[in-house]
Structure 1
Amino acid sequence: MQIFEQTITVSKNDLDQLNHVNNVRYVQWVQDIAEAHWLKNAPKTILDHYFWVMLSHHIEYKGEAVFGDELTIKTYVSKSEGLFSIRHVEITNKTKAKLIVTSETKWCFMNTATKKPNRIPLEVAQLFD
């Protein structure tokens, strides 16, 4: 299992009316890191022919972050077979040394030409081992 990680610092644009990171922002970060991991690992030949769509998303909020906090966002794929892939994301507040968000997302592998689901080829599944 390959872990992909990024670090970000909470900006004022990330905050809600209570001056905590807005829940919608966490969902955006989950999607952003999934895309960054995919783009980092997949060669152009695969990127030109395939893409992913989100089918379901479960997120658990365990803590909070505020302006200036440094966050570590980690992701990994736990399962990739048939048409579907399961991706996990953990967001840790480095400033407070606390896990604040976990998520599990089910993605469907799609063919760019047909816009229909496509079985995940072994070469794609192996991109995240």
Structure 2
Amino acid sequence: MESYEKKIIVSQADLDDLNHVNNVRYVQWIQDISKEHWQSTAPKEMQAGILWVVKNHNIDYLSSAVLGDVILAKTFIASTKGAISVRCVEMYNDKTNELIVRSVTEWCLLNAMTLRPIRISEKIQKVFLSD
């Protein structure tokens, strides 16, 4: 499967009352990297007229990140069936390689006009496969 990654530097605005990255921030980062992967990989004409919505997030918080940490975020598509795509996101401490967060999210593909689910075509699936 084709993966996508990026680095995130933890800032003061990312922290909670315990001076660790707030869980809500991880959810935002999961959504951000997922969207960036789609937008940077799929051709613009493929993106037109469709959109993705979250059906279910399953997130394991395994360790903490603090101010100044560099997080390596990686995402890939694990499977697709019908209108559902299962996307994994893993976030690591870039210095220690310790896994901080692992998420599995079900995304549903919608027709942008009708907002009704549509089947994920073979053409869309192939965008995320490595050759």
Q: TM-score range by the shorter chain?
A: over 0.9
Say whether 1:97 aligns with 2:94. no
1:52 and 1:65 map into 2 onto residues whose CA distance is 29
1:16 maps to what in 2?
16
**1:33 aligns to what SS in structure 2?**
helix
Counterpart of 1:7 in structure 2 is 7
**TM-score normalised by length of structure 2:** 0.95
Q: 1:78 maps to which residue?
A: 78
**1:106 paired residue number:** 106
| Gapped regions of structure 2 (runs ≥ 5) | none
| Aligned residue number for residue 59 of structure 2 | 59
**CA RMSD, 1 decimal:** 0.8
- How many Å separate the matches in 1 of 2:3 and 2:42? 15
Q: For 1:81-107, what per-residue CA distance to the aligned partner results, in whole angstroms no more than 9, with x for missing partners? A: 311100000000113331010000001
Structure 1 unmatched ranges of 5 or more: none
Kept in 2, the 8 Å contact 1:88–1:104? The answer is: yes
Could you list the structure 1 runs, at least 4 aligned residues long, displaced by more than 4 angstroms after superposition. Answer: none
Structure 2 residue aligned with 1:31: 31
CA contact (8 A) 1:84 1:106 kept: yes
Describe the SS at the equivalent of 1:86.
strand
Matching residue of 2:127: 127
Write the deviation string for residues 6-64 of structure 1: whole angstroms up to 9, x where unpaired: 00110000000111100100111000000000000111112111110100000000000
Cα contact 1:81–1:125 (8 A) shared by 2? no
Structure 1 residues 43-52 or 16-25, which shifts more?
43-52
The residue number in structure 2 matching 1:87 is 87
Identity over aligned pairs, percent? 45
In structure 2, distance between residues paired with 1:38 and 1:32:
10
Q: TM-score under structure 1 normalisation? A: 0.97
Would you say the 8 A contact 1:5–1:75 is kept in 2? yes
| Number of residues of Structure 1 aligned to a counterpart in Structure 2 | 129
